[in-house]
């Protein structure tokens, strides 16, 4: 079963074309001196920063901010592609062509005759095709986990490692498994604390965090976004304490601060967004 490609709406083509033209102008002689100096290496940290800013906007459910950060990220990709066209011998046509070819290869249930029953089979096929691609390319590391960058934030890396392992069939059949694992790791952490074994406690905290990430995965909850939301709520409530305490922290009691914390929490529950 194959699907014919639908024509791209003209407004989308014109919007992307305009942005490409702007990037070309910034990079061209007489354009922006800062943009003209950039390299693939110097632009990469900016791309990472834009990804984090996008994640922040998504966590805040800030649609205008998300739209803006998506634009910044798109501009960054186009700028890196433009610089690579000048310095590395490949540019936007190769970048877009490469990902298009890869997407078609890895979706044989859409662009071929493969039939899948559910999302699980889609992911299993994806990993199998990816492994064959690595073998054909002569890559030594063909592990199902090899595509997870070690530079990812630890929480996100744990989530992706769990996903990759699950795609091979190495996973609990339901939520009971990871729930029991969380209980098991929590008990082992308590035991390490009771024995005052700091090294073992560190080990068990890591195991507990990984078990919680796996529970989030089984619940189809992105732990990175869930934790970001918690951090935002904590920060908002703490700032409420700062604004309303009326005295230095060193002079305030825990009971006074807890009362203001509860006040901020109650205000959240009454807000339309809560």
Specify whether domain 10-109 bears CATH 1.10.238.10.
no
Residue % of the chain over a pLDDT of 90: 67
Burial of 217 (C-beta count, 10 Å sphere; 0-12/13-18/19+):
buried
pLDDT of residue 1: 54
pLDDT, the chain, mean = 91
pLDDT of residue 133: 84
Q: Report how far apart, in Å, the C-alpha atoms of 151 and of each of 51, 155, 187 are.
A: 14, 11, 30
pTM for this structure?
0.67
Break the chain into its structural domains and give their ranges. 10-109, 172-221, 224-270
Query: Token pair of 76, please?
Result: 């960054």
| Ramachandran category for residue 9: left, alpha or beta (phi over 0 → left; psi -120 to 50 → alpha) | beta
Average pLDDT of the segment spanning 224-243 = 91
Distance of alpha carbon 166 from alpha carbon 217, whole angstroms: 10
Structure confidence by residue, pLDDT tens digits, 97-148: 999 999 999 999 999 889 988 888 888 888 888 888 888 888 777 787 887 8
Q: Using 50, 70 and 90 to split pLDDT, how confident is the model at 274?
A: very low
Query: Token pair of 258, please?
Result: 């807890």
Structure confidence by residue, pLDDT tens digits, 158-177: 999 999 899 888 999 999 99
Q: How many helices (H) and strands (E) does the chain have?
A: 12, 0
pLDDT of residue 272: 54
Strands (E), 144-259: none
């Amino acid at each position: 079963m194959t699907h014919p490609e639908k024509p791209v709406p003209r407004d989308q083509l014109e919007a992307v074309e305009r942005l490409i033209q702007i990037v070309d102008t910034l990079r061209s002689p007489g354009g922006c001196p800062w943009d003209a100096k950039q390299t693939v290496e110097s632009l990469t940290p900016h791309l990472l920063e834009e990804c984090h800013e996008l994640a922040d906007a998504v966590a805040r459910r800030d649609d205008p901010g998300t739209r803006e950060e998506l634009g910044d990220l798109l501009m960054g990709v186009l700028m890196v592609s433009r610089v690579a066209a000048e310095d590395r011998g490949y540019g936007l046509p190769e970048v877009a062509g490469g990902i298009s070819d890869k997407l078609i290869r890895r979706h044989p249930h859409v662009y071929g005759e493969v039939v899948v029953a559910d999302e699980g089979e889609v992911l299993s096929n994806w990993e199998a095709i990816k492994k064959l691609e690595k073998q054909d390319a002569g890559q030594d590391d063909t592990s199902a986990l090899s595509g997870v960058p070690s530079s990812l934030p630890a929480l996100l890396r744990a989530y992706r490692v769990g996903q990759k392992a699950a795609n091979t069939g190495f996973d609990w059949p339901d939520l009971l498994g990871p729930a029991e694992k969380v209980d098991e790791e929590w008990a082992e952490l308590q035991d390490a604390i009771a024995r005052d074994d700091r090294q073992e406690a560190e080990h068990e905290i890591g195991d507990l965090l990984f078990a919680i990430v796996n529970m989030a995965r089984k619940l189809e909850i992105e732990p990175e976004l869930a934790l970001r939301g918690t951090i935002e709520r904590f920060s908002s409530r703490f700032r409420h304490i700062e604004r309303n305490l009326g005295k230095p922290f060193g002079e305030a009691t825990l009971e006074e601060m807890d009362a203001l914390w509860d006040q901020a929490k109650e205000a959240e529950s009454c807000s339309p967004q809560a």
